[in-house]
Structure 1
Amino acid sequence: MKVERACIYPKDIQRITGRSERYGRKLLNDIKAYLGKSSHQFITVQEFSEYTGIEESIVLEYL
């Protein structure tokens, strides 16, 4: 059984989008604000996919 991560990090966003890690941190903060999450809470792959419009299967390939 393959274990997949449930949350996404700035480095993952950097690999997916080709943008900087700083952009990844900013995007995660934007998603947290949009969803009303606190700074200590994580963003899941599903939430990231819904916000960006990138299919979940594509995101999981990069993790």
Structure 2
Amino acid sequence: MKLHTICIDTKQASIVLGKSISHARTIIRAIKDSHKKKSYQPVTIKEFCDYMDLPYEEVFNMVNNINEASTSKSA
């Protein structure tokens, strides 16, 4: 069984959003501020998706390199 990442970092956020790393860093910092997190505390994918109003499952799959076609199995 493969373990999946539940947190998102700046580089991953920049890829998901299609924005620069500096822009993603600003967003991650804003999310941490809104959740009153310390600088060393990670941002979860759920927190990121809630803040950016993005679909959780799609972002989770992107961050964890999960191909949706391979996860849906026909019965």
Pairwise same-fold verdict (TM > 0.5): yes
Identity, in percent, stands at: 29
Tell me if the contact between 2:6 and 2:45 (Cα under 8 Å) persists in the aligned partners. yes
Match of 1:28 in 2: 28
Compute the RMSD of aligned alpha carbons.
Answer: 0.9
Q: Offset at 1:14? A: 1.1
Q: Which of structures 1 and 2 has the bigger CA Rg?
A: 2
Match of 2:6 in 1: 6
**The residue matched to 1:54 in structure 2 has which SS?**
coil
Residue 35 (structure 2) pairs with residue 38 (structure 1): no
Q: Post-superposition, which runs of at least 4 consecutive aligned residues in structure 1 deviate over 3 A?
A: none
Q: Which has the higher helix share?
A: 1
Which blocks of at least 5 consecutive residues in structure 2 are unaligned? 64-75
Which blocks of at least 5 consecutive residues in structure 1 are unaligned? none
Structure-2-length-normalised TM-score: 0.78
Which structure carries more relative contact order (alpha carbon 8 Å, separation 6+)?
Answer: 1
Q: Which has the higher strand share?
A: 2
Tell me if the contact between 2:6 and 2:60 (Cα under 8 Å) persists in the aligned partners. no
